[in-house]
A and B are shown apart, each in its own frame.
Chain A
């Protein structure tokens, strides 16, 4: 399969933990990446190589993988984390990139 599946929405209260999942057949063999996008802005990379955090990204962001599912976890969610989150990976060839459909994180 050449698709990545995300839940359309996740809602959490401030201070709680948000978990956003992404499923795809190639994920056990290919790296995953996560992007945060706020309205009217370009995406921002928040996780690469499954669980590596770019410089400047808060420690409350973490990534994990289990079989065909990868998860972005945001611990102690803050209001500023409200955004759309997209997972990204490649197909089994490792050449063609693809994005998940995106998950809207709402901070209640």
Chain B
């Protein structure tokens, strides 16, 4: 069974950092990349970036560039997204997503994690 399982909810103070994990199973993790997408309360989806599980290459959205780092650990088939200097508008559900069949740039994101709620509040 193909699935992505994310770490649990986090509550952070403004200015802190958060690191969310996403463990893959049921498909070839190193074959394709992992995208991170977030959704603020009552809002739409926002693409944050992509990391290659093959060579660690990354593409980050301009909005989070400089505050985000996406990595993978092929030994555990786990992807990580770290966001620094948190602000209240970073409060959102964070999803990891991937493709079972190839690049997400060809096949879209057909596998999603369950989401991780990150709350930034003092």
Contact of B115 among A42, A44, A45, A95 (CB under 8 A): A42
Contact of B108 among A33, A94, A98, A102 (CB under 8 A): A33
Contacts of A79 in B (CB 8 A): none
Contact of B110 among A45, A88, A90, A94 (CB under 8 A): A45
Which B residues, 81 to 122, have Cβ-Cβ distances below 8 Å to chain A?
A: 95, 97, 104-110, 112-115
Which A residues, 34 to 87, have Cβ-Cβ distances below 8 Å to chain B?
A: 35, 37, 42-45, 47-49, 54, 84, 86
Given contacts A42-B114, A95-B59, A96-B59, contact A86 B44 (CB under 8 A): yes
How many A residues touch the partner, as a band? Answer: 20 to 34
Contacts of A97 in B (CB 8 A): 35, 47, 50, 61, 104
Q: How far is the CA of A37 from the CA of B113 in the complex (A)?
A: 13
Contact A102 B45 (CB under 8 A): yes
Complex A-B, nearest 7 residue pairs according to Cβ-Cβ distance, in ascending order:
A48-B108, A33-B108, A42-B112, A97-B47, A102-B44, A45-B110, A99-B45
Which residues of chain B have a CB within 8 Å of any CB of chain A? 35, 37, 44-47, 50, 59, 61-62, 95, 97, 104-110, 112-115
16 A-B pairs, CB-CB below 8 angstroms?
Answer: A33-B108, A35-B45, A35-B109, A42-B112, A42-B113, A42-B115, A43-B95, A43-B97, A43-B109, A48-B110, A49-B106, A88-B108, A88-B109, A96-B59, A96-B62, A98-B47
